[in-house]
Amino acid sequence: AGQTIVGFFNGDAMSGDLRAALTELHLGGVILYSAPGNISSVGQVATLVTDIQNVAAGGVPPFVAIDQEGGAVARITKGVTVWPGNMALGAAGDVRLAAEQARIMARELRILGITWDYAPVADVNSNPDNPVIGVRSFGSDAGEVARFVAAMLPPFAREGVLSCAKHFPGHGDVDVDSHLGLPRIDHDRARLESVELVPFRRAAALGVPSVMTAHIIVPALGATDVPATMSAQTLSFLRNDIGFGGLVVTDSLGMGAVDKQWGSVEAGVMALIAGADVLIYGADKGHTPADQWKAHAAILDALRSGRLPQSRLDDAVLRILKAKATCGILDDPMPGADRFGELASDANLAVARAIAEASVTLIRNDRSLVPFAPAGAAIPLVWQAERKD
């Protein structure tokens, strides 16, 4: 049961609570956040990961996971290459740059012992009022998003880091933040096939190792009362129609979209029964690592009562073990401290700068302001100063 849980913890070093979760619950993975103080420097992260794997030694090495998308969502921002973000890549329009970013990002994460990155974002940001995706997406064109997602998957695989296409079946056309409430997408199947599902079909065809579910209700995929994360019909569609054979991982179960109505523990059991393989218990507001213990107990209760079939749990754990074998952490889960010189190297930083420069886009030039005035002319810059009172 513990293998199906990826949980968060507090602090930037091994603690009694984290040790107990690893040795008694046998967590399948841990997820690093900046907010609970897991990250202060690359050296500290590598030491922390080493301690985690040493404590778990003798069992199945846990994933060390992170949300390192680049741009607005990046948990480690010092000592590694910092990237402009997915919409910058989309604006640059060069998938070779996307592939090179993925290679460098994955290599730097693997040097730190991080083996699962919840990226790339496969959402098509078709709704300009979207409060949660926005610049995290490669753009509003489904074909282009699919092209960039496809470019980033092989480099991750070669560097021994699991990639993750998210958030299935597509979080781009919502106007509610699922951290706060439960969004709904009422598009028919034809519309979903022409927009939201395009990047996920492409990723599945290329063998993406994991897909993260969205806490959104999508009636066209079979569920009118529960989000995709907890819908057997929606997850069956992902498996059987799209043909995805890798790990199905939930978005964090402490998010308001599911926590407010079902509670994070019950939502996790429902997701596992519906077909999810990995349950994320993240550092959501109002939640503590104690949720992981409650979820573990609830999974065992569901198993003993017959509500959760043994075959469903076995199926999930088998996929988890295969994924760990694929990325090499069953053989070598440790950080590569001897390769720290590769982190944020001049060559890596040059790629980030090239993406930033290529992304600069002229949106409109209604009054012929561009190009700017001749050299030497004054150009006033006006901005609102922050009030100090």
Q: How many CB atoms lie within 10 A of CB 131?
A: 14
Residue 251 is a catalytic residue: yes
Q: How large is the angle between the packed helices 346-359 and 95-111, nearest 10 degrees?
A: 140
301 is an active site residue: no
Closest CA to 132 of 248, 252, 274, 30: 252
> 21, 9 in Cβ contact below 8 A?
yes
Closest residue by Cα to residue 127 from 197, 67, 175: 175
Residues pairing with 29 in the sheet: 6, 63
Catalytic residue among 12, 17, 51, 179: 179
Q: Which of 117, 251, 259, 291 is catalytic?
A: 251
DSSP string covering 94-150: -HHHHHHHHHHHHHHHHHTT--EE---B------TT-SSSGGGSS-S-HHHHHHHHH
Radius of gyration, alpha carbons of the chain: 21
- Which of 14, 76, 92 lies closest to 41 in space, CA to CA? 76
The set of catalytic residues is 179, 251
